[in-house]
A = this chain, B = another copy of it.
Amino acid sequence: MSPIGMVLESEECPQLKKVKRLADLTSFFKPTSVAIVGASSKEGKIGNAIVKNIISSGYKGKIFPINPKDKTIESLECYPSVLDIKENVDLAVISVPAAGTLKVAEECGRSGVKNLVVISAGFKETGHQGLNLEKELARICKENNISMLGPNCVGMMDTHVPLNASFAANFPPKGDIAFISQSGAMLVAILDWSMVNGLGFSKVISLGNKANLTESDFILEAAHDPVTRVILCYIEDVADGEHFLRAAREATSRKPVIILKSGVSQAGAQAASSHTGALAGSDLAYSTAFAQAGVIRSTTMAELFDLAVAFSRQPIPSGSRVAVITNAGGPGIVTTDRIEHHKLTMARFNKNTVEGLRTSLPAEANVYNPVDVLGDAGADRYRLALEKVMTDESVDSAVVLVCPTAVTNAEGIARVIIEAHRSYPEKPMFAAYMGGEMLAGGAHMLNVARIPCFTFPETAIAAIAGMSAYANRKSAGKPVVMGEIQGVDRHVVKEIFQRVKADGRLVLLGSEAARVMEAYGIPSAPTVLATSPEEAMEQAEIMGFPLVMKVASPKILHKTDVGGVKIGINNVEEVSNSFLEISENVHKYLPRVVIHGIELQKMMPRGIELIIGMTRDVQFGPLMAFGLGGIYVNLLKDVAFRLAAGLTGPEIEAMIAETKASTLLRGYRGEEPADIKAVTNIMVRSARLVTDFPEITEMDINPVFAYKQGASALDVKITVS
């Protein structure tokens, strides 16, 4: 069968089978009752702030403060322990010293409390001892089937329940943005900031140390939450790569997920012995995972929230064609530049629109995109322009620019924009009110009407770009699982690896690697090992000529330099002579190196030189590379990456298309195109190989020769652990 359309996610793939069932968080977010362990009556204490927050958020369920020293807290009856509550407790918020949390968690387990929010600090973040405490806490939760947020977190909020189970000072207005943050400080800062900026949230979650529930659980929960329209995350790492990929894929098929992942520079480049590893760098697995899962990655906090506002308040555009309406030329050009910068398209109006604009607007107005309604435009002229532009089928979104002039009626224009948005609710609209006081009233009206209004047009265009990226992801649809790849012999590979390990080696010999290729149906240059001239001659007769002969020793990196390579060998005599010559050369240069023999490889015709490689990421597993190969691979750096997990045929095609190598493959300067299907086949089978064998830590096939018909793996380097 054709490898195109194939997904590396069959039932036979052991790596992807053990997917965890996600927790049911219904009672976590909508508890009928909440206990606060460590509740306090003392103003300024966290245990007091939590109780007050729960009360003031308008929570309708029962509230049980727990503290052995108090009778009542905030006029509520106080209990010595969760064991003393005779009613059902859905959620317990714990704010006691770290050492005390284990006992509390055990009591919760015994009382049947299924959800914990552990506010207490003093765990993993404090060092070794704290880490042990945290592991113990996690174990107790697992044994008692408890879902736990934290420890070391600010808490969580649900504005629709409503419930503020946190010690944060601000409880935001109801909204449709779910915000999940690994940094408590960031969460508090954002809440404070959003109060001024009128942002509403559905759920707010402070992840803390993620000892039990992780970002993936909450992403999935928010994905299924009917009132959440967009999911925002700030994370510093991902707790479980596989779990995250599944959760994010599912979430992005339902609604946008925007993530600010920090710590880009923290990990540092790993020491890598392969080309692929050296090219991948430390942050690449994350950006690849996000891209493959359809997550929008934001690089700044400003971008994160501009996108949140856009997704929350406007529909997703059905395409990338933007219309611009302006009352001044300069800002129109700046906006056009940004549209091009973000690889969006300036909408090309159809004839009717252009004619309509020509009839409605003054003669000097520009009736093409950007539409210039001129400096003396009142609200009416904006209305005329918007009516024409918004009905045009070739417009997917619109940005309205307003510069202050003597006649500018900022409020009037705002009303016109709001009206147009109501008439065409399916097309996203943005405004840029470029000024201060003269335009403030109109800008405020727009924001109240949920039409994002920025000071500068570039913010609007960046937001549209993010939305379009998501729209493209959605329209790409879900990959189709196509089943198993034919002609794969795992047993052979297993045996080879066992032998290599028994031999105390980490790197396969060329002949061994060639047999691994063969076992996985990857066409490669026949390669055999000979330990004597006679064996070499025998093998050569079977293999045929011309041949290349190379010393077989993973210890020798530059075989040519020690006289360890002979090319263009055409008969058995030359084979015999070369065997002896290579042996002597190597012995002369490197008398102490033990060689495994001499390898014979069939000389292959030259093709387009490619690299197909893999480096294994700690979090996300095999990361596949494709690009221009040969000795300049690290110089040209023309390499695209994809995670092997769930890799599809269309994704491999996209991966190839990203590289300059694809230009060569399609036929450069009038040459015939190469067999891209054959290259894709090698990629699919390589991805399967490294997925099937987690002991492969790195693999470089460099070069792969691509021909007009077929492709072939030449040099294969496989490192195992």
Contact = CB atoms under 8 A, between A and B. Distances in A.
B195 A436 contact: yes
A131 to B, nearest CB: 15
Contacts of A663: 635
Contacts of A459: 302
A67 interface: no
Contact of A262 (B236, B334, B364, B636): B334
Given A169-B404, A300-B338, A405-B188, A331 B193 contact: no
Interface stretch (A4-12, A179-187, A579-587): A179-187
A299 B341 contact: yes
A169 B439 CA distance: 13
Contacts of A668: 632, 635
Nearest to A186: B330
Interface stretch (A263-271, A511-519, A615-623, A643-651): A263-271
Contact of A192 (B189, B236, B334, B439): B439
Contacts of A102: none
Contacts of A183: 328-331
A459 B305 CA distance: 14
A573 B49 CA distance: 101
Contacts of A637: 660
Nearest to A407: B44
Interface string A540-563: 000000000000000000100000
A59 interface: no
A594 interface: no
Contacts of A193: 434-436, 455
B301 A458 contact: yes
Contacts of A263: 333, 337
A669 interface: yes
A436 B194 contact: yes
B375 A185 contact: yes
A378 to B, nearest CB: 14
A204 to B, nearest CB: 15
Interface string A662-696: 01100011100000000000000000000000000
B192 A436 contact: yes
B182 A330 contact: yes
Contact of A196 (B331, B336, B436): B436
A301 B189 CA distance: 26
A534 interface: no
Nearest to A561: B670
A236 B262 CA distance: 37
A260 B334 contact: yes
Interface in A321-336: 327-331, 333-334, 336
Interface string A427-470: 00000001111111000000000000001111100000000000
Contacts of A328: 183-186, 189
A328 B187 CA distance: 11
A75 interface: no
Nearest to A265: B340
A601 to B, nearest CB: 22
Contacts of A660: 635-637
A183 to B, nearest CB: 2
B302 A340 contact: no
Interface in A287-341: 299-302, 327-331, 333-334, 336-341
A636 B633 CA distance: 12
A709 interface: no
A336 B456 CA distance: 27
Contact of A189 (B234, B434, B635, B636): B434
A302 B458 contact: yes
A669 B631 contact: yes
Contacts of A300: 338, 456, 458
Interface in A11-58: 44, 49
A403 interface: yes
A136 B236 CA distance: 65
A1 interface: no
A437 B333 contact: no
A268 B100 CA distance: 69
A558 B670 CA distance: 11
B265 A330 contact: no
A660 B169 CA distance: 54
A406 interface: yes
B333 A406 contact: no
Given A262-B330, A636-B636, A403 B186 contact: yes
A235 to B, nearest CB: 10
A438 B192 contact: yes
B437 A188 contact: no
Contacts of A49: 406
Nearest to A339: B265
A339 B263 CA distance: 12
Interface of A: 44, 49, 126, 169, 181-186, 188-190, 192-197, 234, 236, 260, 262-266, 299-302, 327-331, 333-334, 336-341, 364, 375, 403-406, 434-440, 455-459, 558, 631-632, 635-637, 660, 663-664, 668-670
25 contacts: A44-B406, A181-B330, A182-B330, A183-B328, A184-B330, A185-B329, A188-B403, A192-B404, A192-B435, A192-B436, A192-B437, A193-B435, A193-B436, A194-B436, A195-B436, A196-B436, A260-B334, A262-B334, A299-B337, A300-B456, A301-B456, A302-B458, A302-B459, A632-B668, A635-B660
Given A192-B437, A195-B436, 16 more contacts: A49-B406, A126-B364, A169-B404, A169-B438, A183-B329, A183-B330, A186-B328, A186-B434, A188-B435, A189-B403, A190-B434, A193-B436, A195-B437, A197-B436, A266-B336, A635-B663
